[in-house]
Structure 1
Amino acid sequence: MQIQKNFQGKDTESNIKNKPLPPGSFGLPLIGETIALAWDIHSFYRQRLKKYGPVFKTHLFGKPVIVFIGPEAFTFFLNQEYFTREDGNPQPVRELLDWDALPLLDGEEHRRRKRLILQAFTPQAFDKYIPVMEQNAAYYLERWEKLGSFTWLNEYRKMCASLSNALFVGRSPGSESEAVGKIMDTFIKGFSAVPINLGFNGYGKALKSRDWLLSYLDRAIAQHQEQPQQDILGVLLAARGDDGSTLTEDQLRREVLHLFFAAYSGFYVALTLLSLTLAQHPEIMARARQEVNQYAADGALNMEKLQKLVYLEQITKEIRRFYPINAATFFAKVKTDCEYKDFRIPKGWGAVAGIHTTMHMPQVFSEPESFKPCRFAPEQFATLPPNSYVPQGGGAKDGHRCPGEDMITVLLKVMAVHLLRRYTWELLPQNLEFNRDLFPTPRDGLKVRFGIYSP
């Protein structure tokens, strides 16, 4: 029998077997702690971190799971010697993603496919997408200027449905694109619904929405093959690996489905939080506006201009660290008995790493509950421990980090520039507590009074 080495370098299998399991609770028979997770996913991880520490056991979706929180634990979780994404995720997640997409893969096939997809998320590719972002921004800014007062979350949902539709399948902004957002919302709700397909319930509706979106993408792929376009789908159709390999049509439709819904939800949540942050911190808004006036006061944007907006980038990073956006990674499976911090990690168990909780560890981020963009000044960002800033996952680019991570930064900068060049806004009376959605946002949707900026 081969003896497995563990994280701390010991090499006796019997020694691992004699180690205790991490602290934690398996919850109720059969259902474990799944209901508590579904009720409030962010509180689930925060409360158990406080009670048990950075590694604990639980029982989710029918199997025992080890949770890892903090930079060191997150790094251990990413070690493919011990963990694999293959068959690691609950059946409902795999079914919603149509069984075959990057979050569900590992090994050489994952790396091959990831490298192809990353070709659509380079600085050169972003220069092709920025005009699309600006066109969508102009369309909705004109609308908001006329409205004067509105609920921004609703407006950002419409805008980001249009933007995702434009970036991924080449559609124009407007009501047709906004309708795709409603289908996307139904699909996303399936990830936190009771995983029983009754057709008319939340999970059943999510599966129908998945099928509609896949058919929609099939039509878009056929159109792009007839008439190539310079959007994300067009780049992915043309992507070639070093060995000449490409994405098959089945792989392409599933990967674009995954990227499409991740972009849509990531876009509208991040933009809502950007607008909330600038309204709540007038000193941050003033400094950001000054930077925009200095480096991007007018004219079309490109990557060269955006890269000069250093303070604005610090704001975008702190938004993704500070707010409870992503609670955890996708799930993995333990490949072999191993050890972490003198705890036994059994083969065959599930595993997951906390994202938001990792970025709120006071040992790394002082005063983690304070919003401080300065913590991401280039010299400070460079000294952060590995896998301490993990808003879209950690590790190498061709690993399990979200391929669209840099695109979120670009979009936030583009939208901030267009807002700060001309507009100002103030919060209206409302409840600013966050809801318990998979991607939490202010309960009242961020009600604002919007108008022209006057120095």
Structure 2
Amino acid sequence: MWAVFFGALITISITHWIYRWRNPRCNGTLPPGSMGLPLIGETLQFFAPNTSCDIPPFIRERMKRYGPIFRTNLVGRPVVVSTDPDLNYFIFQQEGQLFQSWYPDTFTEIFGRQNVGSLHGIMYKYLKNMVLNLFGPESLKKMLPEVEQTTSKRLQLWSHQESVELKEATATMIFDLTAKKLISYDQENSSENLRENFVAFIQGLISFPLDIPGTAYHECLQGRKKAMRMLKNLLQERRANPRKHQSDFFDYVLEELQKDRTILTEEIALDLMFVLLFASFETTSLALTLAVKFLSDHPLVLKKLTEEHEEILKNRENANSGLTWKEYKSMKFTFQVINETVRLANIVPGIFRKALRDIQFKGFTIPAGWAIMVCPPAVHLNPAKYEDPLAFNPWRWEGMEFNGASKNFMAFGGGMRFCVGTEFTKSLCEREIERKRETVRENNVHYDLNFSGGKQSKEEILFELLVYNFQVVIKFSSRRETKGTTLHNHTPER
């Protein structure tokens, strides 16, 4: 008798719990959607790989079924997903009042619980100003010649190799440059390979959060631990042997840590270093790889880009001088190419916030404490805003000026958390693109590299763009330039 009673009680309790899971309490009308399975929600579907440039299937299918605003559950957390430009804009404008930055526990575990994305108020503003000291426009004006020199040297180095996998090579170049500016790190003079730890970290970044040996997520966490240990050792070494003059961001951080009543802690400083190293090279290298691929597929874009760069060289008083800040800011079509590349790249699949109180919007209620995921890919590929949204068309940006985010463009975030490294990313993209003066012949892409700031190089480096299984590979050949010689088609071995 008692067994039947307790069995019935347990069944009723489980049924009630499942019902409450699928139908959360709300002081109004929730957006339509499904909360998925108990405990895990729709996490498995969300993390399913997407091998196209289109809107992820998880988002696209639910937009079609529920509309631009819908609810789901990810890693045990109720989430409202927004593909609605008006709601996205409202969220960014009301940050700090109705919304605050938030990311799932698995993300904070990966990036650190004191990472800049998880901090708010005075602490966030303080860190933002610190980063602007490194990546702000004034600092970039001074850094631009170094960026130009680094890209030129690295391209020359690549030309002596039989082939180069562009994404990997570009990521290495940017990491080396950023690590030098941040912590004066030099791989050749170090006993440990810092970037290898970041590679392990990145490979498991967007994976199901299962922390057991053998899983990508476990390797991701291990990569972070090793990288953080290296950064902590470097910080301790710098403390033990301080420099007389500030030469990198680490020196600046140490000065801040030593100030009286500083709000900066060592944990926050190390998490900041980790995030800056990751954000500066991984996202930029992906955008650059896609830019090269897009340019190889669109000769008219390439022609227009080349004309813009040649016009700048023609107007220089000294043809051998490096790029000036004025020239950099005048490259309107180049920035159109960059905007179009990052629009299609959709490097950031989601931007997370949390509702601080019940929010009423377009007849729906977003309950206090719920997470909101702004979905940039759905905005950037919206056919109502972008004609033929999957087409690479830099001319669609003609006449537009973007100094921040808008309702229909948020590749660099939005609101008070607009990416402070945007200008740094654009400068890297511009330098890489400008250093490749290409002519396209049938299916082969040849690059006539100019290594001398406008002066014609004595040696022409030819290389072909190959695409194997979503990897962009460059295959090189070279020949000495002779008077009257024409550039012939070159087909390397497959």
Return closer, same or farther for 1:177/1:71 CA change in 2, 3 Å cut-off: farther
Q: Aligned residue for 2:358?
A: 337
1:84 is aligned to 2:100: yes
Q: Aligned residue for 2:374?
A: 353
Letter in 2 for 1:408: T
2 CA distance for matches of 1:112 and 1:194? 33
Q: Aligned residue for 1:386?
A: 406
- Which region of structure 1 is more displaced relative to structure 2, 368-377 or 335-344? 368-377
SS in 2 for 1:332: strand
Letter in 2 for 1:318: E
- Which region of structure 1 is more displaced relative to structure 2, 216-225 or 379-388? 379-388
Residue 385 of structure 1 and its aligned partner are, at CA, apart by 8.6
Residue 175 of structure 1 and its aligned partner are, at CA, apart by 9.3
1:21 is aligned to 2:36: no
Letter in 2 for 1:392: F
Return closer, same or farther for 1:416/1:385 CA change in 2, 3 Å cut-off: closer
2 CA distance for matches of 1:316 and 1:374? 11
SS in 1 for 2:470: coil
2 CA distance for matches of 1:38 and 1:363? 27
2 CA distance for matches of 1:256 and 1:327? 23
Return closer, same or farther for 1:372/1:158 CA change in 2, 3 Å cut-off: same
TM-score of the two chains, using structure 2 as the length reference: 0.76
Q: Aligned residue for 1:434?
A: none
Q: C-alpha deviations, 1:110-151, integer Å up to 9, x for none?
A: 223222322222222113333432343233212221225433
Does the Cα contact within 8 Å between 1:136 and 1:173 map onto a contact in 2?
A: no
Q: Aligned residue for 1:439?
A: none
TM-score of the two chains, using structure 1 as the length reference: 0.82
Paired residues in the alignment total: 419
Q: C-alpha deviations, 1:185-219, integer Å up to 9, x for none?
A: 21123332332333554333322221222232234
Letter in 2 for 1:188: I
Q: C-alpha deviations, 1:200-240, integer Å up to 9, x for none?
A: 54333322221222232234445656224544444555679
Residue 72 of structure 1 and its aligned partner are, at CA, apart by 1.0
1 CA distance for matches of 2:261 and 2:428? 31
Q: C-alpha deviations, 1:422-444, integer Å up to 9, x for none?
A: 3665433x45xxxxxxxxxxx33
2 CA distance for matches of 1:68 and 1:177? 46
Q: Aligned residue for 1:32?
A: 41
1:189 is aligned to 2:203: yes
Pick from 158, 170, 177 the counterpart of residue 156 of structure 1.
170
Residue 104 of structure 1 and its aligned partner are, at CA, apart by 0.9
Does the Cα contact within 8 Å between 1:57 and 1:66 map onto a contact in 2?
A: yes
1:427 is aligned to 2:465: yes
Q: Aligned residue for 1:97?
A: 111
- Which region of structure 1 is more displaced relative to structure 2, 258-267 or 443-452? 443-452
Residue 47 of structure 1 and its aligned partner are, at CA, apart by 3.0
Return closer, same or farther for 1:169/1:18 CA change in 2, 3 Å cut-off: closer
Q: C-alpha deviations, 1:14-53, integer Å up to 9, x for none?
A: xx96632112222222211111111136332233233322
Does the Cα contact within 8 Å between 1:301 and 1:414 map onto a contact in 2?
A: no
Return closer, same or farther for 1:18/1:348 CA change in 2, 3 Å cut-off: closer
1 CA distance for matches of 2:325 and 2:250? 20
Residue 295 of structure 1 and its aligned partner are, at CA, apart by 1.5
Pick from 287, 309, 319 the counterpart of residue 304 of structure 2.
287
Q: Aligned residue for 1:446?
A: 472
Mark the structure with the bigger radius of gyration: 2
Pick from 287, 293, 302 the counterpart of residue 276 of structure 1.
293
Return closer, same or farther for 1:230/1:358 CA change in 2, 3 Å cut-off: farther
SS in 1 for 2:129: helix
Return closer, same or farther for 1:360/1:384 CA change in 2, 3 Å cut-off: farther
Q: Aligned residue for 1:369?
A: 390
Residue 66 of structure 1 and its aligned partner are, at CA, apart by 0.2
SS in 1 for 2:73: strand
SS in 2 for 1:446: strand
Pick from 26, 42, 46 the counterpart of residue 60 of structure 2.
46
- Which region of structure 1 is more displaced relative to structure 2, 266-275 or 172-181? 172-181
Does the Cα contact within 8 Å between 1:394 and 1:401 map onto a contact in 2?
A: yes
Q: State the superposition RMSD in angstroms.
A: 3.0
Pick from 261, 283, 288 the counterpart of residue 278 of structure 2.
261
Q: Percent identity among equivalent residues?
A: 25
Return closer, same or farther for 1:272/1:222 CA change in 2, 3 Å cut-off: same
| Equivalent residue runs for 1:118-267 within 5 Å | 118-172=132-186, 179-222=193-236, 226-227=242-243, 228-234=245-251, 247-267=264-284
Residue 383 of structure 1 and its aligned partner are, at CA, apart by 11
Return closer, same or farther for 1:18/1:168 CA change in 2, 3 Å cut-off: closer
2 CA distance for matches of 1:309 and 1:375? 16
Unaligned runs of 5+ in 2: 1-24, 51-55, 314-318, 438-448, 451-460, 488-494
Q: Quick one: higher RCO (CA 8 Å, sep 6+), 1 or 2?
A: 1
SS in 2 for 1:313: helix
Residue 166 of structure 1 and its aligned partner are, at CA, apart by 2.2
2 CA distance for matches of 1:136 and 1:210? 27
Return closer, same or farther for 1:291/1:314 CA change in 2, 3 Å cut-off: same
1:402 is aligned to 2:419: yes
Does the Cα contact within 8 Å between 1:154 and 1:445 map onto a contact in 2?
A: no
Residue 103 of structure 1 and its aligned partner are, at CA, apart by 0.9
2 CA distance for matches of 1:114 and 1:445? 35
2 CA distance for matches of 1:370 and 1:104? 35
Does the Cα contact within 8 Å between 2:405 and 2:412 map onto a contact in 1?
A: no
Q: C-alpha deviations, 1:294-344, integer Å up to 9, x for none?
A: 214643234233112121111111111122322111x22221112111011
1 CA distance for matches of 2:206 and 2:67? 25
Return closer, same or farther for 1:102/1:312 CA change in 2, 3 Å cut-off: same
Does the Cα contact within 8 Å between 1:139 and 1:173 map onto a contact in 2?
A: no
